[in-house]
Amino acid sequence: MSLKKKIKNIKKYIFHNPVQFWNDLGGERYYRKYHSSEMRNEDVILEKIKKYKPQNIIDIGCGYGRYLKAINEAYPEIKLFGVDIAESQIEKAKDFLSDKNISLFLSEENNLPFPDDYFDMAMTYGCISAVKRSDLQYFLSEIIRVTKNVGVFIEYFPQKNWNIFTDSYFWFKHDYHLLFKNYNYLHKKLNEIGDNLFVLELWKQENQ
């Protein structure tokens, strides 16, 4: 890569605005592009719900609500919440989930508008890999703050051929093993799914 290209990428990273980016990419545009995918590991999420039996769940980075709908159809008795930084995603989720009793919220500056220990389970799918490294610790601390029992994170492994400055996405390469290593007061369990996904279960020690 040329020096000029490197400088351009650095500037792109520094000035990257996740809210604007996902507002532009999300909503109807994102739905049309990805909803046709037959399976995106909904079975993994449902398996963890069966294991932990939460009474309520927050889906962080819920997008247009694909996983919330899958959970609701399998476990209609669970109270569900979704939050996203992009208004376009939340507006599409309201339409997509219009026949479901699911609460949707817009978050600002990675702040989650909920009290401490409010949710039995927090979940994310592909959300951490869309968060800049400089924002990660606060983002994770907010998830842990609002979660009473367990967090389930499904993420993409950083592949060698990935470029965080791709044409259509803004992925960030994180070392997930290292990222969660410092959470010594939490129990951790990490499982890999195939060649490109992992599931991390993170639960509070005092609740086990």
Confidence of residue 76 (pLDDT cuts 50, 70, 90): very high
- 142 versus 38: the higher-pLDDT residue is 142
Confidence of residue 205 (pLDDT cuts 50, 70, 90): low
How close are the terminal C-alpha atoms of the chain, in Å? 49
pLDDT at 207 exceeding the cut of 50: no
- pLDDT tens profile 148-185: 988 888 876 554 444 544 444 566 777 776 776 666 54
Predicted local distance difference test score (pLDDT) of residue 189: 61
Predicted local distance difference test score (pLDDT) of residue 157: 59
pLDDT at 140 exceeding the cut of 50: yes
- pLDDT tens profile 78-122: 999 999 999 999 999 999 999 999 999 999 888 999 999 999 999
How far, in Å, are 15, 26, 31, 79, 164 from residue 168 at the CA level? 16, 12, 15, 34, 10
Q: What is the CA radius of gyration of the chain?
A: 17
Q: What is the mean predicted confidence (pLDDT) over 5-22?
A: 78
Q: What is the mean pLDDT of the chain?
A: 82
Confidence of residue 66 (pLDDT cuts 50, 70, 90): very high
Domains, the chain, ordered by start:
19-207 (3.40.50.150)
pLDDT at 77 exceeding the cut of 80: yes
User: Is-above-0.75 flag for pTM?
Assistant: yes
**Helix count and strand count (H, E) for the chain:** 8, 7
SS3 content of the chain, % helix, strand, coil (to 5): 40, 25, 35
